[in-house]
Amino acid sequence: MVRLGLDTNRSPRDTNNMPLSDTQLRSLKPESKPRKLSDFEGLFLLVNPSGSRLWRFSYRFGGKQKLLALGAYPAVSLREARRAKDDARELLAKGMDPAHERKVAKARKRMAAANTFEAVANEWFDARKDGWVPSYSDRLKARLDADLIPYLGRRPIAEIEPVELLSTIRSIEGRGAPEMARRVLQMASAIFRYGVALGVCPRDPAADLRGALKSAPPAKRRSAILPKDLPQFMQDLAVYNGAAQTKLALELLIHTFVRTSEVRFARWSEFEDLEGEVALWRIPASRMKMRRDHLVPLTPQVVKILAEIKEAAGRSELLFPAPTRSGVISENTMIYAIYRMGYHGRATVHGFRSTASTVLNEQEFNRDWIELQLAHAEGDIRSVYNAAEWLSGRRTMMRWWSDHLDEVTKVKPEAASE
């Protein structure tokens, strides 16, 4: 049991037998030797010859006599010193050493100051960025630097309250971006959970904000060419008089229905057996949204398109080199071509993935083949993903799709509508 008692150490000399008063403290004068003026329950004021007047709390813990510094008078008043002494006695009553608890509190404070939101957020980002494709990593870093760090960066992560985080998220909503606000909140939550795992954050305040954000408006579907309009579009593309490189990029994308970035950044090293029977485009995991290699069976029509692209690309390692910042054709190159063809608001580049999916499902091709060809998440298919699974069936399906595109390109619009 911890024993609470008054200090029995009489050095320096104790010259007071009554509780202290403010009047007495204001009239104190230094003497040639240090002296101790006792209050009660172990609290005393040490008066030094230099004139300094220091509050001390004397107590015993673990069989040893100890002193706890409580500040200097008059910066710490008599009332404040007594309150600090009472707090220390409460800790003693619980079997805790006030001096040790103070050291722990100071260490926590130093740790909190070192573990700002910015420091923890950057550590979280560095720990995960290798698992993301560069484009996704860049987007997340941009959101972090623009929407979270300026508002929360210097704050100790352990001290950030839900209302503080909500204010930050509200500023994003205020610029008319509710969906972005939701995504930034998700990222903030991931950072706080990382802090919890590190032991520098007690909890995730983002969890308290569920239901506090504005509802996002219904998502707008990207315009896609309807199957009945595909013949007219393919005929218009066949006579497109813009840049040959752009036309070929669109043809490659429509025949393979991969994503725009996967066409733009394609390299010749990714293509296999172009002169054989099993031509293949192996898009590396580093360029795929789902971080796994994506195999695209290539039809004779696609091989022919690639030959034309090669002639235009020359010795470049890229299929579509261009004098842009990224070194390849711009992300807007193909969509602007579609606009020039008269399909503004009626078609998007990404929409061809939907068109192909619709047509192939109508033809009752295996749904898993279609989902794999679209490189959708594993949760969208009925078995564990295997890069080579159903490759033979998908090759048959892709051959039908290319043949279908050839067929509708030749069909008269009037006939297609009958």
- Which tokens hold the place of 90? 């409460």
Active-site residue, 294 included = no
CA distance 223 to 68: 73
Alpha helix stretches (DSSP H) within 7-60: 22-26
- DSSP-derived letter for residue 68 is E
- Could you give the CA distance from residue 265 to residue 163 in angstroms, rounded to a whole number? 43
Average pLDDT over residues 316-320: 94
Residue type, 122: N
Arch. (CATH architecture) of 13-107: 2-Layer Sandwich (3.30)
Mean pLDDT, all residues of the chain: 85
Residue 232: C-alpha distances to residues 248, 302, 343 (Å) = 18, 20, 11
Q: Which CATH number fits domain 117-209: 1.10.287.3610, 3.40.50.880, 3.10.20.30, 1.10.150.130?
A: 1.10.150.130
Round to whole Å and give the CA distance between 254 and 258: 8
Q: Say whether 353 is catalytic.
A: yes
Q: Please say if 94 is a catalytic residue.
A: no
Helices (H) and strands (E) in the chain, counts: 17, 8
CA distance 50 to 340: 88
- Cβ burial 358-380 (10 Å sphere, 16+ → b, else e): bbbeeeebeebbbbbbbbbeeee
Answer yes or no: 385 catalytic. Answer: yes
Among residues 264, 287, 353, 394, which one is catalytic? 353
Task: Please determine, for residue 266, whether its predicted confidence score (pLDDT) is greater than 70.
Answer: yes
Establish how many alpha carbons lie within 13 A of residue 234's alpha carbon, considering only the half-sphere containing its beta carbon.
Answer: 26
Cβ distance 383 to 372 under 8 Å?
A: no
Residue of 102, 193, 289, 399 with catalytic role: 289
Which residue in 193, 346, 367, 376 is the catalytic one? Answer: 376
Predicted pLDDT of residue 221: 56
Domain ranges for the chain: 13-107, 117-209, 227-416
Q: Which of 60, 182, 385, 404 is catalytic?
A: 385
Choose among 54, 66, 51, 52: nearest CA to 2: 66
pTM above 0.85, yes or no: no
193, 350, 367, 404: the active-site residue: 350
* Identified catalytic residue from 35, 53, 259, 294: 259
pLDDT digits 0-9 by tens, 86-113 = 999 999 889 898 888 888 777 666 665 6
Nearest 5°: phi and psi at 117? -60, -40
Query: What pLDDT, in 10s, does the model give residues 328-338?
Result: 999 899 999 99
Average pLDDT of the residues in 67-96 = 91
Going through 163-322 in order, the beta strands assigned E by DSSP cover 271-272, 280-283, 294-297
User: What is the spatial order of strands in the sheet that 43-47 belongs to?
Assistant: 13-14, 35-38, 43-47, 53-61, 64-72
**CATH of span 227-416:** 1.10.443.10
Mean pLDDT in residue range 242-269: 93
DSSP 94: T
Query: Would you call 289 a catalytic residue per the annotation?
Result: yes
